[in-house]
Amino acid sequence: MVNTNNITDDQIIERVRANETEMFSFIIKKYNQRLYRVAVSYGVYDDDCDEVIQRTYIAAFEKLNTFKGNSKFSTWLIKILINECLMLKRKYKKNHAVKEDELMNLQSDDTISPEKAVMNKETKIFVESAINDLPEKYKQVFILKEVEGMSIEETSEVLLISKTNVKVRLHRAKSMLRDFLTSRIGYEGLFIFGNERCDNITSKVMLYMGNYKTAKN
**pLDDT tens series, the chain, 217 aa:** 566 678 999 999 999 999 999 999 999 999 999 999 999 999 998 899 999 999 999 999 999 999 999 999 999 999 999 999 999 988 886 444 433 333 333 333 444 344 444 445 555 777 788 899 899 999 999 999 999 999 999 999 999 999 999 999 999 999 888 876 644 455 666 677 878 888 888 888 988 887 766 666 6
**89 and 26 housed in the same domain:** yes
SS (H, E, C) 41-76: HCCCCHHHHHHHHHHHHHHHHHCHHHCCCCCCHHHH
User: At how many degrees (to 10) do helices 195-216 and 46-62 cross?
Assistant: 30
**202 and 176 housed in the same domain:** no
pTM here is: 0.73
**21 and 46 housed in the same domain:** yes
Expressed as residue numbers, the domain containing 138 is 100-180
**85 and 106 housed in the same domain:** no
In a domain, 186, yes or no: no
- Burial level of 208, CB count in 10 A (0-12/13-18/19+)? middle
In a domain, 187, yes or no: no
The CATH number covering residue 137 comes to: 1.10.10.10
**60 and 114 housed in the same domain:** no
How many angstroms separate the CA atoms of 85 and 55, rounded?
Answer: 10
In a domain, 75, yes or no: yes
**165 and 209 housed in the same domain:** no
How many angstroms separate the CA atoms of 193 and 32, rounded?
Answer: 7
- The alpha carbon dihedral of 78, 81, 82, 83 has a sign of positive
pLDDT of residue 106: 33
pLDDT of residue 107: 36
**203 and 175 housed in the same domain:** no
In a domain, 4, yes or no: no
pLDDT of residue 15: 96
pLDDT of residue 188: 64
pLDDT of residue 173: 93
pLDDT of residue 9: 96
Neighbours of 207 (CB within 10 A): 10
**79 and 114 housed in the same domain:** no
The percent of the chain in helix, strand and coil, each rounded to the nearest 5, is 70, 0, 30
In a domain, 2, yes or no: no
In a domain, 1, yes or no: no
Please, how many CA atoms are within 13 Å of residue 80, restricted to the half-sphere of its CB? 24
**176 and 197 housed in the same domain:** no
Sequence-separated (6 or more) residues with CB below 8 Å from residue 47: none
**15 and 91 housed in the same domain:** yes
The CATH number covering residue 83 comes to: 1.10.1740.10
- Given a contact cutoff of 8 angstroms between Cβ atoms, the answer to whether 81 and 56 are in contact is yes
Domain tally for the chain? 2
| CB crowding 101-136: b at 16 or more within 10 Å, else e | eeeeeeeeeeeeebeebebeeebbeebbebbeebbb
In a domain, 111, yes or no: yes
In a domain, 52, yes or no: yes
**89 and 111 housed in the same domain:** no
